[in-house]
Amino acid sequence: MKKVFVLSLFFISTCFITPQQSDLTHLRFLPHWIPQAQFAGFIIAYEKGIYKKYGLDVELLTGGPTRSSLDWLTEKKTDLADAWLTSALQVRDKNVKLVNICQLIQKSALMLVAKKGKGINSLSDMNGKKVALWQKDFQIQANALFEKYQLRVKPYPLSETQDIFIRDVVDVTSVMLYNEYHLLKNFGYDDSDLIIFRFQDYDLNFPEDGIYVLDDFYKQNKKACDDFITATLEGWRYAFEHENETLQLVMKYLTKAKYAANEMHQRWMLRQMNKLFQPESGQKLGELSEHDFDNVVQILKESKNIHSNIQYKEFYRSPNGKP
| Fold agreement (21-107+207-315, 110-202) | yes
Percent of the chain at pLDDT > 70 equals 91
Q: How many residues does the chain have?
A: 323
Query: Identity (one letter) of the amino acid at 271?
Result: R
Quote the pLDDT of residue 20: 55
The contacts of residue 202 (CB under 8 Å, 6+ apart) are: 123, 145, 148, 149
**In the predicted model, is pLDDT for residue 274 greater than 90?**
yes
Beta bridge partners of 205: none
Q: For the structural domain made of 110-202, what CATH number should be given?
A: 3.40.190.10
Helix (H) or strand (E) holding 186: helix 180-187
Q: What is the DSSP-derived secondary structure letter of residue 316?
A: B
Higher confidence at residue 161 or residue 320? 161
Q: Are strands 98-103 and 194-198 parallel, antiparallel or unpaired?
A: unpaired
Beta bridge partners of 26: 57
pLDDT band at 255 (very low <50, low <70, confident <90, very high): very high
Compute the 3-state secondary structure of the chain and give helix, strand, coil in percent, each to the nearest 5: 45, 20, 40
Spatial separation of the C-alpha atoms in residues 70 and 82, rounded to whole Å: 8
Taking only the tens place, the pLDDT of each residue in 175-213 is 999 999 999 999 999 888 999 999 999 999 999 999 999
Taking only the tens place, the pLDDT of each residue in 281-301 is 678 899 999 999 999 999 999
Domain residue limits, the chain: 21-107+207-315, 110-202
Say which CATH topology domain 21-107+207-315 has: D-Maltodextrin-Binding Protein; domain 2 (3.40.190)
Spatial separation of the C-alpha atoms in residues 295 and 276, rounded to whole Å: 18
pLDDT band at 117 (very low <50, low <70, confident <90, very high): confident
Taking only the tens place, the pLDDT of each residue in 1-56 is 433 333 333 333 334 444 555 689 999 999 999 999 999 999 999 999 999 999 99
Quote the pLDDT of residue 182: 95
Spatial separation of the C-alpha atoms in residues 134 and 175, rounded to whole Å: 9
pLDDT band at 321 (very low <50, low <70, confident <90, very high): low
- Span 94-115, mean pLDDT? 96
**In the predicted model, is pLDDT for residue 101 greater than 90?**
yes
Taking only the tens place, the pLDDT of each residue in 146-181 is 999 999 999 999 998 999 999 999 999 999 999 999
Start-end of H helices in 63-128: 69-74, 85-92
The contacts of residue 203 (CB under 8 Å, 6+ apart) are: 295
